[in-house]
Amino acid sequence: MNIMLSLIQGAAGVEESSPQGPRDELAALAAAFSEGNVGAARTLVSAVGGSVLSAVRMVLGPGHTDVEDVAQDAMIGFLEGLARFRGECSIVHFAGRVAVLTAMAARRRQRTRDRWVVADEDESGLVAAGADSSPLARLEAARRRETVRRLLDELPETTAEAVALHFILGHTVQEIAAATQVPVNTVWSRLRIGKERMREKLDRLGGEEFASASECGS
């Protein structure tokens, strides 16, 4: 670990900033891993593992049974992708993007399987407990998160990626542009399409819920 820290500190001493902003402290580790340093790989996994797992969990849903397997696949993809990484964004943002793409691919594979399998139970009603919100607010938040997840299955991959990075992981437009290597205006366009589709889906779900409530009351 001391060797890894010295790599980071040495790199920071050479260059404190770049045109994109402060130097990424994990960049030296990524470079060391690309040169065959196994210890650097272990340190990188420890540094970004939590972010990768969190991203996968948010895209798949907290109750998904494949979260850990998909996170492991994402971590492997992250390490393999470092050979092509050109430093347009931070290592953490790069890992987050790989996690989102891996999780979206897993959702699409599951959606294909589910066309031939009848689900035993619906997990979309599971709501995480929270001390600072009412049950109704938590239910609404859970409904919106599930709506975003389902929307990812319907959107083109590039648009779904922007939506997931922005609305699920909280990345800024500039960060998404850097990570995906597209102009900022392109990211705005993809997010606009995603927001329009999300609004349509929420309105449609709201109408269905109103119709169900009316039937129950009749």
Q: For 44-70, what is the mean pLDDT?
A: 90
Q: pTM above 0.75?
A: no
Task: Give 17's strand partners.
Answer: 22
Provide DSSP, the chain: -HHHHHHHHHHHHH-SEETTEEPPTTHHHHHHHHTT-HHHHHHHHHHHHHHHHHHHHHHH-TT-TTHHHHHHHHHHHHHHHTTT--SSS-HHHHHHHHHHHHHHHHHHHHHHHHTTS--S---TT-----TTS-HHHHHHHHHHHHHHHHHHHHS-HHHHHHHIIIIIS---HHHHHHHHT--HHHHHHHHHHHHHHHHHHHHHHHHHHHHHHHHHH-
Report the percentage of the chain scoring pLDDT > 70: 68
**pLDDT at residue 13 is higher than 60:** no
Contact yes or no for 162/184 (Cβ under 8 A) = no
Cα–Cα distance, 5 to 20 (Å, whole number): 23
**pLDDT at residue 71 is higher than 90:** yes
Between 78-82, 107-111, 127-131, the lowest mean confidence (pLDDT) is in: 127-131
Between 20-29, 89-98, 141-150, 190-199, the lowest mean confidence (pLDDT) is in: 20-29
Between 8-22, 85-99, 121-135, 180-194, the lowest mean confidence (pLDDT) is in: 8-22
Q: For 196-214, what is the mean pLDDT?
A: 63
Between 56-65, 100-109, 134-143, 166-175, the lowest mean confidence (pLDDT) is in: 134-143
More confident: 117 or 72: 72
Q: Please state the domain extents for the chain.
A: 2-217
